[in-house]
Structure formats: structure tokens, C-alpha cells
Structure 1
Amino acid sequence: MILQHKFIELVPPVLEEGVLYISVEYCSAIHKCVCGCGNKVVTPLSPTEWKLTFDGKSVSLNPSIGNWNFECKSHYWIIKNKVKFARRWSDEEIEKGKKEEAELKAKYYKKRRRKK
């Protein structure tokens, strides 16, 4: 599956299937879940969330997108506009990943506070 990317200021009221909307101003990338469930996926762009790479032709998001709060629990990468599906995580892996992510964020912000 290939996603088209569109740089926008504001997210449109209706999302098109197969489009990754990118708002640099609001530091977000938004799309409909690629599994087809129709859920809106918001990936905040920040040092502790997702990183967007634009090479002038295509976009990539890192890390992978795990829709753990959706019924579908889809898990995939967006690399150079292509969706690469990842294996489904167990509930234990999801909880471990959430905990590790929270710890990394706390460590990042603690370090930033010390620099001020």
C-alpha cells in the first residue's frame, strides 16, 4: 500500500483514504488507519513522539505506528510513502512498550529541565 502525502495547515473535516496529511505548523501527521477500520490516526511530531523525514519526494515516520487503543490494533511503518505492516503485538508487548515509552519521555523531559 502506498500513501500520498499532503502538506496542509489545518486537517480537513473529512480524511481521504490513503492520504497522510502533514501539518508542520501544528507538528502533526494524520491519516485514516491503513487497516481499513476508518479510525483517525494522529501522530504528533516531536522529540519524544514521531519523527518525520521528507526527502523532497516521499515521507517516512519513525517509529512504527501501533494503534493499540483501536479494536484493530494495527501495527505498521510508513517508509518512503509505503506502508509496511509489522507483526501484531501481544497485550503484554503492548503494555511493555507503553511503559518503556513513558520512561523515555520522562527521562527526556527531566534532562531538559536540568538544562534550564
Structure 2
Amino acid sequence: MKYETLKHEFVTHFPDQPESGVLYISIEYKSVSHLCCCGCGEEVVTPLSPADWQITYDGRSISLSPSIGSWTLRCRSHYVITRGRVREAGQWTDEQIVAGRRRDRLATERQHGTQTQLGETMPKAVQKPRSWFAKLVDWLFGR
């Protein structure tokens, strides 16, 4: 990681040209922004909510959890910000990224009360086969 520590600034709006090594926190817009800690210069924006990221402010420093996985950026960097310090985390495989996105989507749906049925998100090989009786009931009642 190019940046091992981050300063923080509480702002209403994010700056047009953010500084490297600065974590911008907008409580009003419930989000955090910073330039990727790998040094690629890409902006990373994380929404704050129980289903997304949470910040902890101890009066001196900021922690952001869970980890930052910049999977859509070319660098695909992955790191943790704890008490203003940046710690590199391991790279994820494409399968881990897909599973993580699925988990995140389900958490967001739970938060907003639009939860998808678990079976709809499970691969067909994992779903339990339906009995002929269950299929008949579905057919009779138009499910």
C-alpha cells in the first residue's frame, strides 16, 4: 500500500479534487470518500448504513468496516482502515467477489425489507429438489 495512514476530514460535500491520504466523511450524505490507498488515484466512495460500511470515530481517528475491496477498479486493491491506519488485506478470487456481492445485496434487501427468497439466490445445484406433492400444490393454487 502506498498510504499506510489516513487523515480524516468531516465535510458536507466531497471536494472536486480530493487529496491523497485523506478520508472525507460526510455525515449528511452518509458516505465516505478517499483516493485508493494503493496510489492508483481512483476515488473510492463507501456508503454508510447498517448493511454497507460503518465508521467508528474515537475522537482522534477513524475506523471503517468492513474492509475496502475495490473490485471495480483496475488495481482491485483490498485493505482495512483501523484507527487511521491502512492494512493490506488479501486479494479475492472472482468467486469470492461474486459471493461477497451476493451477501451485500441480501444485507441491503434485509435492511430495506425487500428480501429475496433464499432459494432465488442459491445455485440450482445447492437447491433442494421439490417433491411432486409440493409441485402439485403450487400448480393447484397458481404459485
| Alignment TM-score, normalising by the size of structure 2 | 0.75
- Residue type of the alignment partner of 1:95: V
Identify the residue that residue 89 of structure 2 maps to in structure 1. 86
SS in 1 for 2:71: coil
Larger Rg: 2
Q: Are 1:11 and 2:29 matched, yes or no?
A: no
Consecutive aligned runs of 4 or more in structure 1 exceeding 4 Å deviation: none
Deviations 1:32-89 (A, max 9, x none): 0001111100011111111010000000001001001011110011100000110000
Match of 1:40 in 2: 43
Gaps of 5+ in 1: 112-116
User: What is the alpha-carbon root mean square deviation over aligned residues?
Assistant: 1.1
Pairs aligned (count): 111
- Stretches of structure 2 that go unaligned for 5 or more consecutive residues are 115-143
Shift of 1:107: 2.1
Quick one: percent identity of the two aligned structures? Answer: 46
User: Quick one: which of 75, 80, 91 aligns to 1:77?
Assistant: 80
- Give the partner amino acid of 2:51: T
- TM-score, normalization: structure 1? 0.92
Q: Does 1:109 align with 2:109?
A: no
